[in-house]
Structure 1
Amino acid sequence: MPTVTDHIDTAALVSRYLATISTGSATEIAALYAPDARLEDPVGSEPRIGRPAIEEFYRGLDGTDTTAELLAVRAVEGQAAFHFRVTTKLPGRNIVVEPIDVMTFDDNGLITSMRAFWTSGDVTMQVNPSR
């Protein structure tokens, strides 16, 4: 029997999220979330609830040279777990983190919850002498 979320391509929503991380502003990223969404990044930190709090969280990416690359995704019925790499280029070095995020989506394709699984051990620095 079909579910309400059968019409949503959840893997495509994950790709859209990562593309927006790479090219969008905090406002554009937050617009991917439902108005009352919940973000917990990293898991165990104080959750951010609602678009204004979520936008403030992503504000740290504004003006940075950041790319997000999908490594693996499992998407089922409006839910997704995915492993990805975020690289932020800074003068002389790159910061790389590889979290696993778990997201749920509503019937409109908006993110209703996001939990990011990572620790400081998942962050590496790469020397980049050319920048």
Structure 2
Amino acid sequence: MNPNDLIRSRVLQYLSAIGAGTAADIAALYADDATVEDPVGSDIRAGRTAIEEFYGALSGADCDAELLTLRVSGNTAAFGFRVTTRTPDQVIVVEPIDIMTFDDDAQITSMRAIWGPDDLTIKNR
């Protein structure tokens, strides 16, 4: 598999894990010393343990992630996607753009999520 296809595959694994995986599944896609800045401007989480803690909020949630657009150049991917989370009282939709870098094994080395309040929709059920 060529490097661009490997990165595309990793992005799809990431989105699948957001929708149906655990925090550990998501963190396993990251390199040991990776960083996450979600959203950009917030505290940077460094290392797989901190990253797993960050994604812990998704564990057990009723959500899915849908890829909207994806671009790969060199070791970097930028992609827009939609995450829909359902609670008993609300449906929460966020549409971030993530920029990820990858190592030679397509492990994520950094992730920066670009989104703000205008990219978030909350509907009461």
Question: TM class by shorter-chain length?
Answer: over 0.9
**Residue 71 of structure 2 corresponds to which residue in structure 1?**
74
Q: How many residues align?
A: 124
Within 5 Å, give how 1:1-131 maps onto structure 2: 6=3, 9-128=6-125
The question of whether the paired residues in 1 share the 8 Å contact of 2:4 and 2:73 is answered with: no
Question: Which 5+ residue runs of structure 1 have no aligned equivalent?
Answer: none
* CA–CA separation in structure 2 for the residues paired with 1:76 and 1:87: 28
Shift of 1:92: 2.8
* CA–CA separation in structure 1 for the residues paired with 2:50 and 2:87: 26
Shift of 1:76: 1.7
Identical counterparts, % of pairs: 54
Superimposed CA distance per residue, residues 43-88 of structure 1 (whole angstroms, 9 cap, x where no aligned partner) = 0001000000000000000111010000000012221000000000
Amino acid at match of 1:126: K
* CA–CA separation in structure 2 for the residues paired with 1:16 and 1:85: 15
Shift of 1:31: 0.5
Shift of 1:21: 0.6
**Deviating 4+ runs (over 4 angstroms):** none
Superposition RMSD on alpha carbons, in Å? 1.3
Amino acid at match of 1:120: P
Amino acid at match of 2:76: Q
Structure with higher Rg: it is 1
Question: Which 5+ residue runs of structure 2 have no aligned equivalent?
Answer: none
* CA–CA separation in structure 2 for the residues paired with 1:11 and 1:62: 24
